[in-house]
Chains A and B, each alone.
Chain A
Amino acid sequence: MVHIWPIGGGKGGSGKSFLTSSLGRLLAGLGKKTLLVDLDLGSANLHTLVDVPYPEKSFSDFIRKKIPLLEDVVSETPVPNLYIISGAHDNLDIANLPYEQKVKILKAIARLDYDWILLDLGAGTSFNTLDFFLISQNSMFITTPEPTSIENVYRLVRAIYFRRIRHYFNATDFKALEEEVLRQFGEGSFNNPDCIMEVIKEAHPEKNLLLENDFNSFKFKLVLNQLRKHDNIALGSQICKIIEKHLGLQVDFAGNIAFDDRVHDAICQRVSFLDRYPYTRTAYDLRELSKRIAQFTGQQLLIRYT
Chain B
Amino acid sequence: MKKDFAKLNYYEMLDIKPDAAFFEIRHAYNAALQIYEADSLVSYSFFSREERKEILNLLEKAYSTLINGKGRKNYDNQLMQTGVLASPGNKAAARKPACIYDVKRQSGTTVLPKNNKAALRANVAQNKRINEILSKDEISGADLKAIRNELGVAIEKIASETRIRMDYLIGMEENKIDRLPAVAFLKGFVKSYLKCLCVEPVEGICARYIEGLARMGKNNETGVF
Contacts and interface: CB of A to CB of B under 8 A. Distances in A.
A241 interface: yes
A150 B3 contact: no
Contacts of B5: 245-246
Given A238-B34, A241-B35, A248 B2 contact: yes
Contacts of A232: 41
Nearest to A194: B2
A75 B45 CA distance: 41
A145 B41 contact: yes
Contacts, number: 47
Contacts of A197: 1-2
Nearest to A146: B41
B2 A151 contact: no
A249 interface: yes
A242 B32 CA distance: 10
Nearest to B1: A248
Contact of A154 (B1, B2, B3, B46): B46
A247 interface: yes
Given A238-B34, A241-B35, A242-B35, A247 B2 contact: yes
A151 B45 contact: yes
A215 interface: yes
Contacts of A245: 3, 5
B91 to A, nearest CB: 26
A277 B46 CA distance: 37
A293 interface: no
Contacts of A145: 41
Nearest to B55: A246
B42 interface: yes
Contact of B42 (A146, A194, A238, A248): A238
Interface in B31-45: 34-35, 41-45
A242 B1 contact: no
Interface string B137-174: 00000000000000000000000000000000000000
B44 A242 contact: no
Contacts of B1: 161, 193-194, 197, 212, 215, 247-249
A147 interface: yes
A209 interface: no
Interface string A134-168: 00000000000111001100110000010000000
A60 to B, nearest CB: 36
A139 to B, nearest CB: 18
Interface in A90-131: none
Interface string A208-252: 000010010000000000000000100100110110011111000
A248 B46 CA distance: 14
Nearest to B34: A238
B35 A238 contact: yes
Nearest to B51: A246
A208 to B, nearest CB: 9
A212 B44 CA distance: 27
A150 B2 contact: no
Contacts of A235: 41-42
B35 A150 contact: no
B48 to A, nearest CB: 10
Contacts of A147: 41, 44-45
Contacts of B46: 154, 242, 246
Contacts of A242: 35, 42-43, 46
A193 B42 CA distance: 20
Contacts of A248: 1-3
Nearest to B44: A147
A236 B44 CA distance: 13
Nearest to A215: B1
Most buried by B among A146, A197, A239, A248: A239
A213 to B, nearest CB: 12
24 contacts: A146-B41, A147-B41, A150-B42, A151-B44, A151-B45, A154-B46, A155-B45, A194-B1, A194-B2, A197-B1, A212-B1, A235-B41, A235-B42, A238-B34, A238-B35, A242-B35, A242-B42, A242-B46, A245-B3, A245-B5, A246-B46, A248-B1, A248-B3, A249-B1
Closest 8 CB pairs of A and B: A194-B2, A151-B45, A248-B1, A147-B44, A238-B42, A197-B1, A238-B35, A154-B46
Interface of B: 1-3, 5, 34-35, 41-46
Given A245-B5, A246-B2, 18 more contacts: A147-B44, A147-B45, A151-B44, A154-B45, A161-B1, A193-B1, A193-B2, A215-B1, A235-B42, A238-B42, A239-B42, A242-B43, A242-B46, A245-B3, A246-B3, A246-B46, A248-B3, A249-B1
